[in-house]
């Protein structure tokens, strides 16, 4: 028996599983997105109606926009918070406490995912706490509404993804040999230049990989905006669930899923240069 034959034997179950339960459903969903719903019957065919609806129905168009805006905000804010946090843990916290600090920083990761958003609802619903604090230090003059807004959705997301990114960025920073920074300093670079020209480029693949994962998970998430967003603006996953839950419009839901997929592909293309998905 040839080596390749044996290799196929080992890989076959995984390939078959992925083919049967991922590729085939994905293709069927693609076909479904070209079907139409008449009454309660799905009529198969090649129709662009669902995609045309994306333009003709304002709420669908808006959902795409809302999803992209929220996801980009979340990704940017999460990276901006996680990078310094990971940096401080890697470079300021004494070596022997680092593992503990990192553990503590990501421990709430293990709260149930559905419950985590609900917990934010409780915190933000009681907005006096936060408003008192903010007006107290003179940041704002008028109390803000926090719960049931985009702010709440973004906060819930950022909380989760900051933990995720802190973990990946910390691992990246630790892999860097301190010799790089030392060499840059020897060559006369100050702290900022060392960071901008040496550390940042070297950690960029890690950041981009983490940011891409954030993008994928965030744009496809239903629970967080549904619990925290106050439904005054709907994201694509929320609209998909409305189509399924209230009118069982599978063709339109499938088309929206394909759109979601395209958005992720765009993000992939934008970040492909730096992506290291095989090393997640």
Partner 1 sequence: MIRRSALLASAATAAAPALAQDELNALVWCDHTDPALIEPFEEEHGVRVNLREYEGTGAALALLDQSRPGDWDVLVIDAIDVFRAAQAGILAPLPAEELPTGDFFPEVVLEANNSQDGETYAVTEKFGYNTISFNSDAVEPEAMTSLANAWSEDYAGRISIYDYYLPVMGLAAIAEGIPTGKIDADSLETISATLGTMRDRAASVAGVVAAQTALATGEVDIVVGGGEWLTAVLQEERPELTWTIPEEGAVLWAQSIGVLADSARKDLATEFVKYIVSPEGQARLATSSCFWGMPANREAGAHLSDAQKEILRWDAQEDYLSRAQLYPAPDEDLDIEMQDLWLDTLQR
Partner 2 sequence: MRGVAWIFLGAMFGFIYLPVAALVLFSFQGGSLPVPPFDGPSLAWYADILGDRDLMAALRHSLVVALASGAVSVALGFGAAYGLARHDLKGQAVLRGLLIAPLTVSYLIVGLGLLIVLQRLGAGLSLWTAGIGHVVINLPLCFAILYAAMGAQQENAERAARDLGAGEARVVLLVTVPMLAAPILAAFFLSVTLSWDEFIIAFLLTRFDVTLPVEIWSLLRSGLSPRLNAVGSLVFLVSVAVVLAMEILVLRRRA
Distance in Å, CB of 264 to partner 1, minimum: 22
Is position 205 an interface residue for partner 1 (rule: CB under 8 A)?
Answer: no
Residue 248 binding: pick among partner 2, partner 1, none (C-beta 5-8 Å cut-off by kind): partner 1
Q: Among 37, 79, 90, 159, which residue interacts with partner 2 (rule: CB under 8 A)?
A: 159
For partner 2, which is the closer residue by CB, 55 or 110? 110
Is position 97 an interface residue for partner 2 (rule: CB under 8 A)?
Answer: no
Residues with Cβ within 8 Å of 131's Cβ and at least 6 positions away in sequence, in order, are 140, 143, 144, 146
Distance in Å, CB of 34 to partner 2, minimum: 13
Instruction: Please say whether the beta carbons of 194 and 231 come within 8 A.
Output: no
Residue 48 structure tokens? 């662009």
Is position 43 an interface residue for partner 2 (rule: CB under 8 A)?
Answer: no
Distance in Å, CB of 253 to partner 2, minimum: 6
Is position 247 an interface residue for partner 1 (rule: CB under 8 A)?
Answer: yes
Is position 195 an interface residue for partner 2 (rule: CB under 8 A)?
Answer: no
Residues in binding contact with partner 2, number by CB under 8 A: 76
Is position 112 an interface residue for partner 2 (rule: CB under 8 A)?
Answer: yes
The residue ranges that bind partner 1 (CB under 8 A) are: 39-40, 57-59, 62-63, 66, 118, 121-122, 125-127, 145, 147-149, 226-227, 230-234, 239, 242, 244-248, 250
């Amino acid at each position: 028996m040839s080596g390749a034959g044996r290799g196929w034997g080992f890989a076959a179950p995984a390939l078959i599983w992925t083919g049967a339960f991922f590729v085939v459903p994905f293709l069927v969903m693609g076909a479904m997105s070209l079907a139409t719903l008449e009454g309660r019957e799905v009529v198969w065919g090649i129709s662009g109606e669902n995609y045309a609806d994306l333009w003709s129905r304002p709420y669908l168009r808006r959902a795409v926009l809302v999803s992209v805006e929220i996801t980009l905000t979340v990704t940017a804010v999460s990276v901006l918070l996680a990078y310094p946090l990971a940096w401080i843990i890697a470079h300021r916290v004494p070596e022997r406490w680092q593992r503990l600090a990192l553990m503590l920083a990501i421990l709430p990761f293990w709260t149930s995912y559905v419950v985590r958003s609900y917990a934010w609802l409780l915190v933000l619903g009681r907005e006096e706490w936060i408003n008192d604090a903010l007006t107290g230090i003179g940041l704002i003059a008028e109390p803000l509404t926090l719960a049931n807004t985009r702010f709440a959705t973004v906060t819930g997301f950022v909380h989760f993804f900051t933990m995720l990114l802190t973990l990946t960025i910390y691992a990246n920073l630790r892999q860097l040999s301190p010799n790089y920074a030392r060499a840059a300093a020897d060559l006369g670079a100050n702290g900022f230049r060392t960071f901008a020209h040496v550390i940042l480029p070297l950690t960029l693949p890690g950041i981009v990989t983490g940011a891409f994962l954030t993008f994928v998970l965030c744009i496809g998430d239903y629970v967080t905006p549904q619990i925290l967003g106050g439904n005054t603006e709907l994201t694509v996953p929320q609209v998909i669930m409305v189509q399924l839950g209230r009118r069982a419009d599978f063709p339109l839901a499938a088309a929206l899923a394909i759109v979601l997929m395209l958005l992720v592909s765009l993000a992939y293309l934008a970040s492909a240069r730096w992506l290291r998905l095989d090393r997640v």
